[in-house]
Amino acid sequence: MQPFTTHTGIIATLDRSNIDTDAIIPKQFLKSIKRTGYGPSLFFDWRYLPDGQPDPAFELHQPHFTGRSILVTRNNFGCGSSREHAVWALLQDGFRVVVAPWKETGGQHLPAFADIFRNNSVKNGLLAVELSEPEVEAIFQHVATHPGAQMAVDLTRQQVTLPADPTLTFAFEIDPGAKEQLLKGLDEISLTLQYEAQITRFEQKHLTGTR
């Protein structure tokens, strides 16, 4: 897994809430036994016309989003099923960061991302950044008036900045364990292998019956 420390890239905005994993990568693409090749099928039902041609009306097809690597969207991104393919599709289509807002409704704090999607992101090196609704709205407004705008993301400092307007700098929270895993580029197997020597000693003691 590629470590994540800092990243600067073009922002693409997708002004939709409650984007579920079936919208991110539809179920017909889950038949493959491989972990590659999902990028072109990202947002398939929105991205293509019935004849298979790109839909020019789809937001991410705007020319100023060419080369984008940061997705800014609305609340409850990645809800629905637990398919890890959703994260694979985002990464394989060039995204390194997804930014979404948390929301207060009826006194309840609603997270920006579904829990399983957030966990799958960490396991694969995709950074999910949760900001407040006003902060995300400020990013949407900036991109609307600055086509091709970029964002600088610093995981160590837990901060995002829009270089064209340094006043638009926002801090974000992240679980310390998830942060370390991303910074070091450790997937679940790599995390386990950090303790290979201890595991080997335990297995030897277990087999020999020693303590």
- Mind listing the pLDDT tens digit of every residue in the chain (211 residues)? 889 999 999 999 999 999 999 999 999 999 888 889 999 999 999 999 999 999 999 999 999 999 999 999 999 999 999 999 999 999 999 999 999 999 888 888 889 999 999 999 999 999 999 999 999 999 999 999 999 999 999 999 999 999 999 999 999 999 999 999 999 998 765 555 555 566 566 666 767 665 5
Give pLDDT, residue 55.
Answer: 98
d(CA 160, CA 162): 7
Phi, psi of 128 (to 5 degrees): -100, 115
Q: Which pLDDT does position 206 carry in this prediction?
A: 67
The H-or-E segment that residue 176 falls in is: helix 176-184
User: For the chain, how are helix, strand and coil distributed in percent, rounded to 5?
Assistant: 35, 20, 40
Q: CA separation (Å) from 61 to 43, 45, 53, 180?
A: 11, 13, 12, 34
Measure Cα distances from 29 to 82, 88, 190 in Å.
14, 12, 27
pLDDT for res 192 = 52
Q: Dmax over Cα atoms in the chain, in whole Å?
A: 70
Alpha carbon 210 to its chain's center: 46
CA angle, 191 then 31 then 18, to 5°: 75
Task: Give the rounded distance of the alpha carbon of 183 from its chain centre.
Answer: 15
CA–CA separation, 138 and 165 (whole Å): 11
- Which tokens sit at 210? 């020693």
Q: What pLDDT score was predicted for residue 33? A: 81
pLDDT at 105: 82
In sequence order, the 6+-apart residues with CB closer than 8 A to the CB of 26 are 41, 44, 45
